[in-house]
Amino acid sequence: MMKSDKVSVSIVLSAVFVASIVIVFVLGCVSDKSGIGSFYVNSEKEIKIPVVQLITTPARTHIGESRAVLSSEFSSKFNSTAIVTKRKNNKLEQVLANVRAAIRKAASIKNKSVIFKNNDLLSGQIYRNPNAFYRSYEEMERRFKVYVYEEGELPIVHDGPCKDIYTSEGRFIHEMEQGNNRFRTRNPEAAHVYFMPFSVTWMVKYLYQPNTYNVTPLKEFVSDYVRIISRKHSFWNKTQGADHFMVSCHDWGPVTSQGNALLYNTSIRVLCNANSSEGFNPKKDVSLPEIHLYGGKVPSKLLHPPPFNSSRPHLAFFAGGVHGPIRPILLEHWKDRVSDISVYEYLPKDLDYYDFMLQSRFCLCPSGYEVASPRIVEAIYAECIPVILSDHYVLPFSDVLRWEAFSIQVDVSEIPRLKEILMSVSEDEYTRLKEGLRAVRRHFVLNKPVKRFDVFHMILHSVWLRRLNLRVG
Ligand SMILES: *[C@@H]1O[C@H](CO)[C@@H](O)[C@H](O)[C@H]1NC(C)=O
Ligand SMILES: *[C@@H]1O[C@H](CO)[C@@H](O)[C@H](O)[C@H]1NC(C)=O
Ligand SMILES: *[C@@H]1O[C@H](CO)[C@@H](O)[C@H](O)[C@H]1NC(C)=O
Ligand SMILES: *[C@@H]1O[C@H](CO)[C@@H](O)[C@H](O)[C@H]1NC(C)=O
Ligand SMILES: *[C@@H]1O[C@H](CO)[C@@H](O)[C@H](O)[C@H]1NC(C)=O
Ligand SMILES: *[C@@H]1O[C@H](CO)[C@@H](O)[C@H](O)[C@H]1NC(C)=O
């Protein structure tokens, strides 16, 4: 179906281009009112276009609490606007307005203690604002509805990888389509968001010519897909794609999304490669954790980390190839050094990767070819404090989670001082970080069937927050 539609790709692209010019112009209107007169005169049809506003951060008046559910990236940039055509279902918008108010109210509660409710245990220290998160999560469970487009065919649409490094992509698509979850609706009129269930990893497998570095066929596929759903249904045009989302864990997810300018600039892109200097926009995009499953499973050693207080003889551990911009620096300083910092390019045959993680206090997680690393989630499972070594990486769920409660971030320029930095972490601080890891683990676990607060729900909650930040109509 997709292939036969390819002929008119260029026409669609130019139509989309016009649409993006309109957006630029209207955005310009907000800040700069000069010189827009002729534009308005020439395009009366566009005048009716209402504005999508990003809501302000909950409880902004409470200093210290102001980050609430949302992170500082959100609160600082809330004035930007995008456009939307036509009015959406007003009742649905009214409900969302009530939800926003409820979350703001919860965010203002200054009680950070552990929340017990319906057997939920939320350990306050790992959340930016536990009350706001809990309220937002409950509202999501109660109300959030996702429509999944049925267009597109196997193998590229309605499927994705479940046994490799890009598992998060396939597992989400499968769960959304086949899982027995409460979020999918078959009635698109009742939906808050619209999911496009294509797999970039499968595009790479089926459409990409190896070694060409030519991603055009991938972009064309995406362009076709958006064209088809936007012609057949009214929803894309209503919001210019702002309430639509895609999910990709492949390194090329971001570049593939360039196949449609609105998808790239306006839609919610859920991406492992959440590189903020390559167009990842935390206001609207979602950082997806990279979870490496071997043959579809978490390595069994990681399922049972050693007892909390058992000794970990190694200070820090890394083993992996010299990929991307950061690892060469790490290996240059620490590889083959006789030191507590165990850094390998190739792990010697007599050593086991996961045993090493389980026996290390800190696990080094440098970016590779892309910003995300499966080591972060493996370290969480292994209760080995992740040491994040990356530039421009927007960490998963950082709009609700306090990463500083369970990980350490070391600036790339500080890599030469790594040992000193890790040695200076006190025993109390280390215990606190490890308790944080125990508490946060549930948010990074893939379950089948899904469980409350697990990674599926956290991803969906990130999308829910982006949708809440969109005021349509
Ligand atoms: C953001 O919007 C508010 C009112 O909605 C206004 O007072 C404020 O000056 C704006 N900030 C910026 C940076 O435009
Ligand atoms: C804080 O929350 C806990 C648990 O929900 C509750 O037991 C306690 O009374 C609250 N404290 C205040 C000051 O509201
Ligand atoms: C949405 O807009 C595109 C381009 O502007 C147009 O080709 C398409 O027919 C529209 N879709 C619907 C359902 O009207
Ligand atoms: C996103 O929008 C900017 C202008 O705001 C434009 O220059 C850019 O080409 C757009 N990105 C894509 C992938 O179309
Ligand atoms: C670990 O040891 C500390 C004291 O060294 C103790 O307070 C704590 O309860 C222990 N934690 C666990 C989970 O056994
Ligand atoms: C993130 O993006 C910047 C800008 O394109 C690039 O220089 C950097 O290498 C990227 N990071 C990774 C790990 O790919």
Interval 39-56: pLDDT, tens: 222 233 222 222 333 333
b (16+ CB within 10 A) / e for 171-210: bbbbbbbebeeebbeeeeeebbbbbbbbbbbbbbeebbee
pLDDT band at 150 (very low <50, low <70, confident <90, very high): very high
More confident residue, 8 or 455: 455
- With the most atoms of ligand 2 within 8 angstroms of its CB, the residue from 108, 109, 110, 111 to mutate is 111
Ligand 4 neighbours (beta carbon < 6 A): 20, 24, 258, 261, 264-265
Which amino acid is present at 430? Y
**β-bridge mates for residue 162, sequence order:** none
Is 230 near ligand 3, meaning CB less than 6 Å away?
yes
Residue 79 CA to ligand 1 center (angstroms) comes to 6
Is 431 near ligand 5, meaning CB less than 6 Å away?
no
Single pTM value for the model: 0.81
Which amino acid is present at 214? N
Residue-level length of the chain: 473
pLDDT band at 470 (very low <50, low <70, confident <90, very high): confident
Residue 375 CA to ligand 6 center (angstroms) comes to 18
- With the most atoms of ligand 2 within 8 angstroms of its CB, the residue from 108, 109, 110, 113 to mutate is 113
Residue 337 CA to ligand 6 center (angstroms) comes to 28
Domains and CATH numbers, the chain: 3-293+454-468 (no CATH), 300-444 (3.40.50.2000)
Cβ–Cβ contacts within 10 Å for residue 48, how many?
9
**β-bridge mates for residue 244, sequence order:** 194
pLDDT band at 25 (very low <50, low <70, confident <90, very high): very low
**β-bridge mates for residue 22, sequence order:** none
pLDDT at 156 over 50: yes
pLDDT band at 337 (very low <50, low <70, confident <90, very high): confident
Quick: pLDDT tens for 230-240: 999 999 999 99
Q: What does the alpha-carbon distance between residue 110 and residue 243 come to, in Å, rounded to a whole number?
A: 32
Instruction: Name the closest-CA residue to atom 14, ligand 2.
Output: 111
Quick: pLDDT tens for 250-260: 999 999 999 99
Output the pLDDT for position 119.
65
Quick: pLDDT tens for 180-213: 889 999 999 999 999 999 999 999 999 999 999 9
Q: Which of 28-32, 99-103, 262-266, 332-336 has the highest mean pLDDT?
A: 262-266
Strands (DSSP E) found in 32-80: 51-53
125: tokens are 């220290």
Instruction: Name the closest-CA residue to atom 9, ligand 4.
Output: 261
Output the pLDDT for position 63.
27
- 245 by DSSP, 3-state: which? strand
Is 311 near ligand 5, meaning CB less than 6 Å away?
no
